[in-house]
Amino acid sequence: MKLDKLLSILLGFVLLAGFTSCSEDKSVFGDEFEIPELTDKNTIQFTVDLTSGTWKQLEIFASGGRVVVDWGDGRVQKVEDPGSLSGGIRYRYGNSKTYRVRIWAEELSFLNISGLLLTLRDLQMGYFPNMSDLSINSIVGTKALDLSSSCPNVKTINVGNNADLEQIDISRCSKLESIQLYTHPKLTSLKLGAHPKLIGLYCTGTSLRTLSFKGLPEMREIDCSNNPNLSTIEVDDGQQIGALLCYSCAFKNMDWLDHITGLSELACHGNQLTELDLSAHPYLAYLNCSNNQLTRLSIPTSKSTRQLACHSNRLDANSLNELFENLPDMSSFVTPTLQFRISYYDNPGEKDCDADIAVQRGWTITESKPAN
């Protein structure tokens, strides 16, 4: 009898433990909807490496539809409306291991993945025709990214700080409106293709030698600065570009500027220019061509110019005086909140030029390099 009673008690404990285990099964958690089969075609995959560092929380921002995240540790999370989570989808790992994460993203229109605080590597992307806004940052171990195949309808991309990226294909992403590519030291070529809706390009910190803006009729803003090997740019005749930042590159001449129109802002400081003729750009308001080797500088005679930085060049007194005489006369232009400024220090003609020419035309002279 005693043995039977003991067996009954043990059986009860086993059943209770089994019931408790089932009721607390959290391998799948989150909102209630049927989980699709996760395949290479319908998921974005990457490895989370937690073997070094102390930060163990992964954050994913998404919107536009449902999302399923396989966190790689046996747990799967379902989120009906990820756009409603102001802090994104957050998951904290318990162990310092590596995990292969898979994200079902077929319904998403926006996705942001970043390895800024922890190591993400070996990115693999499926096919996401609904994706219109994609941000991928700080991922290592990924040499190529083919967005033409994975996100053909994307409108905005932000891909940055991917140390191993050598190739990115966006040639068939015909709906692109904004491109941000930055800090890819191994990226040596970029084929933009034909993007009829592309308005802005931000491409910095690469090893690009050439860029072509041909076939981009709506392009208005370009930042291709801090590309130390970039020395050649191609444009279409009559192409309208409003703002162009191409400082800290390797340009020895910028004759291609003669082919564009509508230029209102130009930052080309920190290159190897010896001459710069901008007289054909009547809308130019802001110019920074400092830290070059300029011996001659021509600016438009219109009243558009507001700020001009040409310091740290090789302009002699005659060149500076000629420049001052071509400054728009703003002496009668009274606006308390607007100043017309020019800096020309650290040029051979700094001491011998006639600065009064500029002053009498209503311009304020920046005498020396501002203190940090």
What pLDDT is attached to residue 288? 99
User: For residue 90, what is the DSSP state?
Assistant: E
Q: How far apart are CA 239 and CA 329, in angstroms?
A: 29
In terms of DSSP bridges, do strands 57-63 and 110-114 run parallel, antiparallel, or are they unpaired?
A: antiparallel
pLDDT tens-digit map of 296-343: 999 998 889 999 999 999 999 999 999 999 999 988 876 645 689 999
Residue 261: phi, psi to the nearest 5? -130, 165
The full set of domains in the chain, from first to last, is: 108-365 (3.80.10.10)
pLDDT tens-digit map of 210-254: 999 999 999 999 999 999 999 999 999 999 999 999 999 999 999
pLDDT tens-digit map of 150-200: 999 999 999 999 999 999 999 999 999 999 999 999 999 998 878 999 999
Whole-angstrom CA distances from 294 to 234, 317, 347, 362 are: 22, 13, 9, 25
User: For residue 185, what is the DSSP state?
Assistant: T
Spatial CA neighbour of 61 closest among 34, 91, 28, 41: 91
Q: How far apart are CA 313 and CA 101, in angstroms?
A: 53
What pLDDT is attached to residue 332? 83
What is the pTM (predicted TM-score) of this model? 0.87
* Pair 207, 185: CB distance under 8 Å: yes
pLDDT band at 117 (very low <50, low <70, confident <90, very high): confident
Q: Which two tokens stand for residue 164?
A: 């191993």
